Amino acid sequence: MARAVGIDLGTSYSCVAVFQQGTVEIIPNERGNRITPSYVAFTDDGRLIGDAAKNQITSNPNNTIFNTKRLIGRKFDDASLRTDTTHWPFKVVNYVGKPKILVEYKNETKLFTPEEISSMILIKLKDMAETYLGKKITDAVITVPASFNYSQRQATKNAGVIAGLNVLRIMDELSAVGIGYGFDKNISSERNVCIFDLGAGTFNVSILKIEKDIYEVISIAGDTHLGGIDFDNQMVAHFVQEFKRKHNKDLLQNKRAVRRLRSACESAKHTLSTSFQASIELESLHEGIDFYSTITRTCFEEMNAHLFRLTLDLVEKALRDAKMGKSSIHDIILNGGSTRIPQIQKLLQEFFNNKELNKSLHPDEAVTYGAAIQAAILTGDKSEKIKDTLLLDVVPFSLGIETTGGFMTALLKRNTTIPTKQTKTFTIKSYTQSDNIVTELVVCDKPIPVKDTKTATTSSDKQVSVDIKIYEGEHSLTKDDNLLDSFILSGISLTSLTVPQIDVTFDIDANGILAVSAVDKTSKQENKITVTNDKERLSKYEIEYMIGDAERFKREDETQDEHILAKNSLEEYCLHVKATINDRQLTDKIDNYDMKKMIFSIEDTMEWLETNH
């Protein structure tokens, strides 16, 4: 049976795992680390991915890309994106309304989509899995935050396709944590679980009902722009102001200095999880000025108090949507690196009336753990421990259509369990505008005003069409929601005797794939569409082009690896020969001329390696 892997494509770190022989195995990278930095760097010599990319960011900040998860599936004019770009050393440009990342690579200027950068990280994880398992890997489950919208999910799937993966499912991270939690628990009676997932870039909370092998998501809430990065930003801003106050210099004008400060702030944040004070020590930070300072845990908590409070507001929202009180929750499960912050744990425990928090899951690996189990289930693994596992997920945002006045009319409300199917009947409002008949949908339980009814009836029969626009979101007006797709229903009869009635059906499967159909009850005219969000997604041509690029990059990486291996082998050989001829036991056996000749050859070779490589 072909192996499928589970992948947590994280904001700061990513992780890959496989389910085999009844257990989950987290796959280490070449350094033996179980998590890999979600970093990609471009240099004059080639690409670096993971630890190697992160380790050289200070010397190459403009061409080291990270936090791609905050870019993927977004439009360039997204408000949160405008905020993020002020914190990134690399450049994000507007390309036909979408963000692209500009880098210098092998002395050329290149543009990459967020999907391409994410695919490079996925290829790295795929290669790690293939090395670990000794076989080719194509199938994968990739996780995303529960609060990701349709565009972000589709973009993540595209990244998987570019990486050469068959994406079995785009899975909510919270659902993966839930499955990972229940895997070893052998839960026989019903338990209500709150999963509190605070990572580097996103925050999500879910209320799950677990009984035996059935995992039912009751509600989700979250913010795709709230996490450890935002806590870092607060600390960076604090020290930028301190530097300006002490030295009357603006650090923000020096990208390398800001990057060094950010790295120091990240380390300080980690220190403050176990200590009450952390130091910042940066020599020659800006214009030769050394910067030394300290920060207390109390100060860190105060500067982030409003962000910490936001997480509890979303927990309240999730409980409210689930129609549950705090006392109904049996377990509060922590996930994500930022849950290590003591104040986060303190506030959450107080919120749940001092109930003990469950810290049994590894906060960096739990998502991958559940994704690997789901991947095994989807590829037909019949292991006793997972064969009866059933996940009932929900739609993260309301789904509906635009009705007269530009209103959003939901057919599937947020947190509706999937798979599901829902039909709603609409009438047609029509009027003449510049000699053209304009039609709009009206909800049947909202009667058409008399003046509109008159304009909807004519002395002779007419054929009209209506544009069905499909939206995602919680705003009452569609202009504030996310347009997913649209299609035309034609051949609708307008007569003086009847007002047309249109049945619109939303049918969403377990994978979150939405099919929408519309039928005119009178004429029986029908049209349907599977929502693909073509306006936002990459075209088939673009994906194929990027797949070709990815394969070319991989060949270049392999050539570079061979080059480095050959260089290292030659260098080791030279050092070995040098050590050998310096051995006293051999000195008497080699005459002076040959000895000098060998030493000259070794030094000449070493100098050549230094100059040319």
**Beta strands of 237-297 (E only): which ranges?**
277-286, 289-296
pLDDT given at position 577:
78
459, pLDDT greater than 50: no
Distance CA(123)–CA(164), nearest Å, equals: 8
Kindly state the tokens that stand for 199: 């990572």
Confidence (pLDDT) at 586:
63
Contact call for residues 493 and 461 (beta carbons, < 8 A): yes
Query: Which residue ranges form the domains of the chain, and what is each CATH number?
Result: 4-226+307-392 (3.30.420.40), 228-305 (3.90.640.10), 399-530 (2.60.34.10), 540-612 (1.20.1270)
Q: Are 36 and 124 in contact (CB under 8 A)?
A: yes
Peptide bond between residue 145 and the one before it cis (omega within 30 degrees of 0) = no
The answer to whether residues 156 and 170 touch, using CB atoms and an 8 Å cutoff, is yes
pLDDT digits (tens, 9 = 90+) for 31-51: 999 999 999 999 988 899 999
Token reading at 577? 């020969």
Give the whole-angstrom CA distance, residue 550 versus residue 127.
13
Is the pLDDT at 458 greater than 80? The verdict is no
Task: Spell out the SS3 assignment of 302-322.
Answer: HHCHHHHHHHHHHHHHHHHHH
Task: Report the C-alpha gap between 514 and 508 in whole angstroms.
Answer: 4
- At 370, the pLDDT band (50, 70, 90 cuts) reads very high
Alpha-carbon distance of 391 to 529, in angstroms, equals 26
- CA 370 to the chain's CA centroid: 16
Q: Which position has the token pair 């989807």?
A: 378
User: Residues with Cβ < 8 Å from 372, sequence gap 6 or more?
Assistant: 5, 6, 17, 18, 19, 24, 25, 141
What separation in angstroms does the CA of 608 have from each of 309, 565, 571, 603? 60, 16, 11, 8
Task: Pick the range with the lowest mean pLDDT from 184-188, 432-436, 455-459, 509-513.
Answer: 455-459
- Cα 218 to Cα 414, 415, 540, distances in angstroms: 10, 7, 36
pLDDT at 427: 86
pLDDT of 251? 94
Mention every residue, 6+ apart, whose C-beta is less than 8 A from residue 361. Answer: 177, 180, 181, 333, 334, 335, 369
CA 400 to chain centre: 25
DSSP 287: T
pLDDT at 210: 93
Residue 475's identity, in one-letter code, is H
Instruction: Please write the tens of the pLDDT for every residue from 406-439.
Output: 999 999 999 999 999 999 999 887 655 555 555 6
Minimum mean pLDDT range among 293-302, 341-350, 401-410, 493-502 = 493-502
In angstroms, the CA 606 to CA 613 distance is 10
**Residue 454 banded pLDDT, cuts 50, 70, 90:** very low
**What single-letter DSSP state applies at residue 394?**
B
Residue type, 545: Y
Residue 578 buriedness (CB in 10 A; 0-12 / 13-18 / 19+): middle
Contact 501, 425 (CB under 8 A): yes
Q: What are 327's strand-pairing partners? A: none
DSSP 474: S
Q: What is the torsion angle, in degrees rounded to the nearest 10, for the CA atoms of residue 186, residue 187, residue 192 and residue 194?
A: -10
Confidence of residue 537 (pLDDT cuts 50, 70, 90): low
The C-alpha R_g of the chain, in whole angstroms, comes to: 29
Q: How many CA atoms lie within 13 A of 315 on its CB side?
A: 24
Predicted local distance difference test score (pLDDT) of residue 156 = 95
With a cut of 60, say whether residue 4 has pLDDT above it. yes
DSSP 190-222: -EEEEEEEE-SS-EEEEEEEEETTEEEEEEEEE
More confident call, 606 vs 545: 606
Q: Are 109 and 102 in contact (CB under 8 A)?
A: yes
**Predicted confidence band of residue 598 (pLDDT cuts 50, 70, 90):** confident
Confidence grade of residue 186 (pLDDT, cut at 50, 70, 90): confident
pLDDT at 30 exceeding the cut of 80: yes
Can you give the pLDDT at residue 216? 95
Predicted pLDDT of residue 404: 85
Question: Bridge-partner residues for 424, per DSSP?
Answer: 504
Side chain identity at residue 97, one-letter code: G
d(CA 442, CA 426): 5
How far apart CA 429 and CA 409 sit, in angstroms, is: 15
Mean pLDDT of 520-527: 88
Cβ pair 187, 103 in contact under 8 A: no
- CA 300 to CA 306: how far, in whole Å? 12
In one-letter notation, the amino acid at residue 158 is N
* Residues labelled as active-site residues: 8, 69, 173, 197
Q: What is the rounded CA–CA span in Å between residue 461 and residue 220?
A: 48
Please provide the DSSP assignment of 219-235 as one string: EEEEETT-SHHHHHHHH
Query: In the prediction, which pLDDT does 584 show?
Result: 61
User: For the chain, what is the mean pLDDT?
Assistant: 88
Provide mean pLDDT across the span 517-546.
75
Q: How far is 280 from 291, CA to CA, in rounded Å?
A: 8
Count of beta carbons in the 10 Å neighbourhood of residue 502: 24
Can you tell me whether residue 521 is helix, strand or coil? coil
So what's the pLDDT on residue 92?
97
For residue 543, what pLDDT band results from cuts at 50, 70 and 90? low
User: Is residue 457 classed as helix, strand or coil in its secondary structure?
Assistant: coil
Residue 450: which pLDDT band, with cuts at 50, 70 and 90? very low
Burial 555-571 (b: 16+ CB within 10 A, else e): eebeeeeeeeeeeeeee
Q: Could you give the CA distance from residue 343 to residue 360 in angstroms, rounded to a whole number?
A: 19
Contact by Cβ (8 Å): 351, 326:
yes
